[in-house]
Amino acid sequence: MSRPPSAPPALPGFTYLDPLGTGGFADVFLYEQEMPRRKVAVKVLLADRITGSAVKEFTDEANVMAMLSTHPAIVTIYQAGVAGDGRPYLVMEYCPRPNLQLRARRERFSVAEALRVGIQVAGAVETAHRAGVLHRDIKPANILVTEYNRPALTDFGIASTTQGVGEATGMSIPWSPPESFADPPSATPRSDVWALGATVYTLLTGRSPFEQPGGRNSGADLIERIERSPLPSLARADAPGSLQTALEKSMAKNPADRYPSAVAFARALQKVQIELSHSVTPVDIVDDQPHDGGVEEDDDGLTRVREIVSIDPTRPSATTERKHPAPAISLGDVPAGTPAFTSAPAPHASALEATVQRARPADAAPVVPDDEDDDRTMLRAPRVLTPDAPTPPQQPQPATVAEPASPSGEPQQARRGMPTWGWIAASAVLLVAIIGGAWFVGGPLLNQAAPTPTRSDPAPVPPNPLPNYVPPVDEVKAVQQGDKVVFTWTNPDPKDGDSYIWVPVTLDGAGDSVRTDEPTATVPAESGRTCIEVILRRDKGRSSDPVRGCTQ
C-alpha cells in the first residue's frame, strides 16, 4: 500500500500546485515557477532519508542529469538546492503525460511506436555511456512523456560511472540482467542494453519479460526465470521474427553475447523498421568527446552525433550580412513589352548594342551580385535592369565648323531652308531601323526561351510520397448478441492479400492476437465495456496503426 506524500516544501519563486508521485527515497510535486512562468516538477528527498550517503546520491543525480539533460530524450534539469526545512530538491521539466509503465499496463504499444521509442531512448543511453555514466535502472516507469509526445528518460538516482561497476543496489528486478543478482553484483554498459531490450518487450506485451500472467511473480520467481529461462515469445502476429531475434540478443544471459552498445541495439531496431517499410527513426547522440576523425561504423546517415559547437561571435549571420544591398527595381512607367537591358555593353559592342545601352538612364545603379551570401538563397536581384522611364534617342547635333558664305554673303545653311526637319526625319528613320532590327534579332530568341507546351507533352505525375503507407481500418462497430460481442470494420483501401489482426483488450491488459481474413471478430462479452484493437496487415509484413472499438 502506497504511503501519502510528504508535506511540500516552501520554495522561493515557486508556488505549490499538486502532488505527482511518491517513491522510496523522494516525493515529486507539481509547482509553478514565477520567473519564467511555467509548470515544473520538483523532486524532494524525504526527511527521514537525509543521511550523508543519501544526500551525496541526490547531488550526484542532479549533476548527472544536468550534464546529460540537453539530450532530447532525457528529462531537463533546471536547478537544484536545499529547501528551508533542510530537504534537498531538484527542479525538473514537467512531463504531463503518463509514464510508459502506466500506459503499457493499459494498452499494448503498436510495433511502430515501440520501435520508435526504443531507438530514441537508446540514443539517450548511448549518450550517457559516452559521458561515462551507467543508468542501471532503465524501465518503463522511468521513461516519462513530454508535452510533444517524446520519451524522456529520468531517475539517474542509482547511476554510476562506467568504471565503477560494483554493487547494483536499488535495481528493479523485472528489468534487471542476471549479473545484477550475482555475488558480487556487477553492471556494465551491456547491463543497460539488457534493460533497454526488456523495456521494449514490455511496451509490446504489456508485461515485463519474465512475468507470467496468472502465475507466481515474486522477486525470487522472477530472478530464477531471468537467470535460467529463455525469453518468451512476443506472441504478436504483427511482430516479425527479426524483432524477436533482436530482443533475444539484447537480453542474452551472457553479457558477451549481447549487443556491445546501446547504439548497436538501436541499429538493430532500425533494421526492423526498414524491413517493415516504416519511417526510420534517427539515433540522437550527444558526444562531447570528439573522435580523431575516424568513422566508427557506416550507418547510412541513421545516427546523428552532435558535438559541442563553438560559434564565432565576430562573424555576422549569413542571413543578415548584406555588404552590397541590391537597389529596388521599379518598373515605373515602362510600357509592357519593353525589352530588358544589360548592365554594361561589351568593350567592342556593335552599333546596335551601343544604341540600346544609351537608352538606359545614365544614373541607374548597376545590380551588384551578392556573392557574400553563404546560404546560396534565392534572394539576389537579377542581373538585368529595367529603366525607370523610356528615354528618347538623342538627336544628333549639327557640326560647329563654320560654313563658307555664299557669294551673296549669306551662310549656305540659310539658303537650304528648314534643315532641322531633315535631321528629325533622318533620326526617325534611324530609330525605326534600330527597333526593327532589335525585334528581328531578339524576337526568335524570346520565342525559343519559352516554348509553348503541347498536348503531346503531358505534365509528369509526381510520385506517391507514401508508397508503403497502410491505412488504418474504419468504423470498428460492436453489436452484443447474448453473451457474445460481434465486432465489424471496413477496409478503406482493399488490396489482394490483406488480412487483419485483432486483439481483445480487458482491464487486465491485452489478450492474445488473432489473425483473420474477414473484417469481423466475435469475443465473449465482458462486464462493463468490451473492447478490441484491429490492425490491417498487408503483404511483406506491413501493417497499420491499431484502431480500438468498444461496446457502448
pLDDT reported for residue 478: 92
CB-side neighbour CA atoms (13 Å) of 84: 7
pLDDT reported for residue 466: 52
Give the H/E segment covering residue 305.
strand 303-306
**% residues pLDDT > 90 (the chain):** 36
Give the H/E segment covering residue 486.
strand 484-490
Q: Does position 165 have pLDDT exceeding 90, yes or no?
A: no
Handedness of CA 129, 132, 133, 136 (dihedral sign): positive
CA–CA distances in Å: residue 336 to residues 331, 333, 341, 342, 499: 10, 9, 14, 18, 63
User: What's the pLDDT band for 64 if we cut at 50, 70, 90?
Assistant: confident
Q: Does position 432 have pLDDT exceeding 80, yes or no?
A: no
Burial class (CB in 10 A: 0-12, 13-18, 19+), 76: buried
pLDDT reported for residue 357: 41
Strand 160-161 versus strand 133-134 pairing type: antiparallel
Mean pLDDT for 95-109 is 92
Question: Which residues are tagged catalytic?
Answer: 136
Mean pLDDT for 474-497 is 90
Mean pLDDT for 465-488 is 83
Strand 514-516 versus strand 499-506 pairing type: antiparallel
Lowest mean pLDDT among 75-89, 217-231, 348-362, 389-403: 348-362
pLDDT reported for residue 12: 94
Is the pLDDT higher at 287 or at 504? 504
- Alpha-carbon gap, residue 3 to 401, rounded angstroms: 117
pLDDT reported for residue 215: 86
Is the pLDDT higher at 258 or at 315? 258
- Domain spans of the chain, in order of start: 14-93, 100-306, 474-550
The predicted model scores a pTM of 0.55
**Amino acid present at 286:** V
**% residues pLDDT > 70 (the chain):** 62
User: What's the pLDDT band for 351 if we cut at 50, 70, 90?
Assistant: very low
Q: Does position 480 have pLDDT exceeding 80, yes or no?
A: yes
Give the H/E segment covering residue 66.
helix 52-68
Give the H/E segment covering residue 191.
helix 189-205
Selecting from 3.40.1350.10, 3.30.200.20, 3.40.50.2300, 3.40.50.620, what CATH number does the domain 14-93 have?
3.30.200.20
User: What's the pLDDT band for 426 if we cut at 50, 70, 90?
Assistant: low
pLDDT reported for residue 168: 40
- Alpha-carbon gap, residue 269 to 275, rounded angstroms: 10
Q: Are 122 and 153 in contact (CB under 8 A)?
A: no
User: What's the pLDDT band for 287 if we cut at 50, 70, 90?
Assistant: low
Mean pLDDT for 22-43 is 91
Collapse the DSSP code of 11 into the 3-class scheme (helix H, G, I; strand E, B; otherwise coil) and give the result: coil
Query: Which residue shows C-alpha cell 526465470?
Result: 225
pLDDT reported for residue 433: 63
Write out pLDDT tens, residues 358-370.
344 444 443 333 4
- Alpha-carbon gap, residue 46 to 37, rounded angstroms: 27
Angle between helices 262-275 and 189-205 (to 10 degrees): 30
Mean pLDDT across the chain: 74
Q: Domain 474-550: give its CATH code.
A: 2.60.40.10
Is the pLDDT higher at 178 or at 509? 178
Which residues fall within 8 angstroms of residue 155, CB to CB, at 6 or more apart? 61, 137, 142
Q: Does position 35 have pLDDT exceeding 50, yes or no?
A: yes
Q: Are 473 and 519 in contact (CB under 8 A)?
A: yes
463's grid cell: 510520385
Selecting from 3.40.50.300, 3.90.1530.30, 3.40.50.2300, 1.10.510.10, what CATH number does the domain 100-306 have?
1.10.510.10
User: What's the pLDDT band for 429 if we cut at 50, 70, 90?
Assistant: low
Is the pLDDT higher at 315 or at 532? 532
Q: Does position 348 have pLDDT exceeding 70, yes or no?
A: no
Is the pLDDT higher at 507 or at 137? 137
Write out pLDDT tens, residues 201-243.
999 999 999 999 888 899 889 999 999 999 999 999 999 999 9
pLDDT reported for residue 158: 56
User: What's the pLDDT band for 413 if we cut at 50, 70, 90?
Assistant: very low
Query: Which residue shows C-alpha cell 509528369?
Result: 460
User: What's the pLDDT band for 160 if we cut at 50, 70, 90?
Assistant: low
Is the pLDDT higher at 527 or at 352? 527
